[in-house]
Structure 1
Amino acid sequence: MEENSISSKLKGLRSSKGISQELLAEEAGVSLRTVQRIESGTSKPSGSTCQRLAEALGISPDVFIDPNLMENTDFLKKLSLSALSFILFPLLGILVPSVLWVLYKDKVKGIDEVARPLINFQITWTLLCVLLPFLIMPLLFVLLEIAMGVFGLHIDLSFISFFEAKLIWFLMYVYNATVTVVNTFNIHDNKATRYFPTVKFLRLK
């Protein structure tokens, strides 16, 4: 019902201003496919997309706000903190926030803007947990040994690997926890969340 309301509002406002779908997409900085899917009612726009579309149309973003979505900052903070489950097992930092997002994505305002960057960060962090100790750092040690061999220095650095891996994991766990807590405070203060490094596996619509 609400998706159809948003689609009809967007289509009506765009038509009343004599703007084509192509021009609206260009002005709003979104893809033409996004505009088409919203107007057809097959896609529900995120808050940031509504903001960009509203700016392109010269109207208030409130026009597109779903009245059925509730403001629930406490839930968004709990969603953010749920990522700390990575401490028990890395994949839980992805799975727990994902489950909460799927269950409440049509109920809580602003959940997309919190959940997608959070999950992207946790996926990126989990991949780095595997790549750094077992692939990247060993490769660097091999290259270092080769470079030292060129100068006639033959030193076996393999004994460092075990301690180096544990140190990297410890620092990465501390970093993840710190980023998660800081962003939870940002949500409490109604500020934008920031995660680094992040690969955008999930993009805002």
Structure 2
Amino acid sequence: MKKTLKQFRTHYHLSQQQLAEKSAVSLRTIQRIESGVSTGSPYVIRQLCDALHIAPDELMLTNGASILNQQNITSPVKDESDAVYDNNIKYINFSALIALCLPFMNLIIPVVLRYIFRKSLTDKHNKAAANKILSLHIWWSVVTLIALIATPVADLYLFKIGEVLEIPLFIWCYLLFLIALVLIILKTANDINREKELLIFVPNIV
């Protein structure tokens, strides 16, 4: 008798998170399959079956459709809509928050982590994501540095706002850029969890 993914998972006493780690399929994708929202791509089904040590024809999806009805079940090609980000992408992304304590270190630490994790980021999908994150911090650092230099000059000759401020204007400028960076990092983290394309507004320079 065919069983659903949830039945197989609970039979082996695995949580959804444990199955996600064992199969390299994202937790969100597993949740969507078990709830019947998605049937998963052939690649994802194959990964799940391998992790559970079952044949594809033993599995019945929650909507009652056998995966035998899916075409190219043995294809090794991964569907981009089910692409899974490596956990190290999350570490690279969040490491840039060090800029909150050490200015412009967000340009250094992600590069170091990208080098450390290079062996686990060999596939095209994760490599592109890592390069996008690095491109973001290069662009942010360059633009922020230019703004920090230009702001006092513009204020000196045009606005004269700095004369009435206790805190120098360039510091306020840096804080605004820093807040924007934190918001982008949090948005990127959300996109990683949702398996969406990252930082589409950032030109690649890596």
Give the structure-1-normalised TM-score: 0.50
- Identity of paired residues, percent? 15
1:159 equivalent in structure 2: 163
2:180 alignment partner, one of 175, 179, 183: 175
Please list, as runs of the form range in 1=range in 2, the aligned pairs for 1:73-84 lying within 5 A after superposition: 73-84=86-97
1:148 equivalent in structure 2: none
In 1, the alpha carbon distance for the partners of 2:161 and 2:103 equals 28
Offset at 1:167? 1.4
Q: CA 1:101–1:173 in 2, change beyond 3 Å: closer, same or farther?
A: same
- Is 1:119 aligned with 2:134? yes
Please list, as runs of the form range in 1=range in 2, the aligned pairs for 1:34-113 lying within 5 A after superposition: 62=77, 73-108=86-121, 109=123, 110-113=125-128
1:191 alignment partner, one of 168, 193, 196: 196
Q: Which runs of 5+ in 1 are unaligned?
A: 1-59, 64-70, 146-155
Q: Deviations over 1:81-138 (max 9, x none)?
A: 11112222233212221122122223234332222121121122222332212x3223
Q: Secondary structure at the match of 1:62?
A: coil
Does the 8 Å contact 2:155/2:161 carry over to 1? yes
Does the 8 Å contact 1:101/1:111 carry over to 2? no
In 2, the alpha carbon distance for the partners of 1:199 and 1:139 equals 28
Q: Deviations over 1:174-197 (max 9, x none)?
A: 11011011101101100011165x
1:136 alignment partner, one of 143, 147, 150: 150
In 2, the alpha carbon distance for the partners of 1:195 and 1:72 equals 16
In 1, the alpha carbon distance for the partners of 2:145 and 2:178 equals 13
Q: CA 1:144–1:127 in 2, change beyond 3 Å: closer, same or farther?
A: same
For residue 93 of structure 1, what is the amino acid of its counterpart? N
Does the 8 Å contact 1:101/1:115 carry over to 2? yes
CA RMSD of aligned residues (A): 3.2
Offset at 1:61? 8.7
Q: Secondary structure at the match of 2:119?
A: coil
Q: Which runs of 5+ in 2 are unaligned?
A: 1-74, 79-83
Does the 8 Å contact 1:94/1:122 carry over to 2? yes
For residue 145 of structure 2, what is the amino acid of its counterpart? V
**Which consecutive segments of 4 or more residues in structure 1 shift more than 4 A?**
none
Q: CA 1:138–1:115 in 2, change beyond 3 Å: closer, same or farther?
A: same
In 1, the alpha carbon distance for the partners of 2:147 and 2:156 equals 14
Does the 8 Å contact 1:105/1:111 carry over to 2? no
2:51 equivalent in structure 1: none
Offset at 1:142? 5.2
Q: CA 1:93–1:86 in 2, change beyond 3 Å: closer, same or farther?
A: same
1:34 equivalent in structure 2: none
